[in-house]
Amino acid sequence: MLATAALAEPEPVSAAELMRPGIPLFDLWPEGKMPGKKSAKPETYRSDGIIFDVNTPTLAVFQTPVSGGGPAPAVVVCPGGGYGVLAYPKEGTEIAEWLNTIGVTGVVLKYRVAAGREPAFQDVQRALRLTRARAREWNINPAKVGVLGFSAGGHLSAWAGANADAPAYAAVDEADELSCRPDFVVLVYPAYLDKDGTVAPEVRVSGSTPPTFIAHTEDDTRHVVGSKIYHPALVEAGVPNEFFLLSTGGHGYGLRSNQEIKVWPERCAEWLRKIGVIGHGESQQLRAPQR
């Protein structure tokens, strides 16, 4: 009987090899003004698309052409990776390219990992503000800036949506005068939304939480419990939301699933039309609910 060949370890690559050619990159923070911690190790990249020890946060902007030349909606995309690494292409650049197909500009956030969760939270707040600050330059509608995250990036996205009134850092420039509240939130197999049988304390659900779409599957047994707790909390707070729950898909698939959950992008696009982000829909749902 032939022995099974050992799988080769992914090889180190350069940053440029993970980036999409022609896609502009922007530093998230002005030089010397990044708050909080960063990893003590150098930032490194692997051929399977995993980034380690992010300590230079960036935004990769995938602009979409808009019919009539008007400003497009935008989504800050937060890849997952357990706050230890980033699954950058699978849950970042590939997602931005899909967003382009539905008329949305994708802004992929390479946020700090391996330095604790607080620096990542600072990065996502800054990303939302900077996207609005660059709205004219990037042809973005600053009133339609959402956030989309996978796994740990889903937790980060929910955290951002629940804490727009709690700045994570002191202002560093004029961009920080703008709102860090996402206008809508998309969570795909989010992690860490629950603690001790209730919503995680940092995710403070209230009537001002943005409209939220959640996609999850029953066989993601470790993390689906959080979505099952988070969804009724949104309902109780009167937050417009949709919980798209199917049986199979597991965890960590991005756009690559061949199981039931593979239809989540179509369902998400329908929801974005419904709330008026794309096409013609009930755009009043994007407004912050009145208390």
- Interval 171-217: pLDDT, tens: 999 999 999 999 999 999 999 999 999 999 999 999 999 999 999 99
State which H helix or E strand residue 145 sits in. Answer: strand 140-150
How many whole angstroms separate alpha carbon 75 and alpha carbon 72?
10
Question: Residue 99, exposed/middle/buried by CB under 10 A (0-12, 13-18, 19+)?
Answer: buried
- Whether domain 54-286 has CATH 3.30.420.40: the reply is no
**pLDDT value at residue 288:** 43
**pLDDT value at residue 18:** 87
**pLDDT value at residue 9:** 80
- pTM of the entire predicted model: 0.93
How many whole angstroms separate alpha carbon 13 and alpha carbon 45?
5
DSSP 67: G
DSSP 29: S
**pLDDT value at residue 125:** 98
The fraction of the chain above a pLDDT of 70, given in percent, is 92
How many whole angstroms separate alpha carbon 124 and alpha carbon 167?
11
Contact between residue 254 and residue 150 where contact means Cβ atoms under 8 Å apart: yes
Query: Which residue ranges in the chain fall short of pLDDT 70?
Result: 1-7, 66-69, 280-291
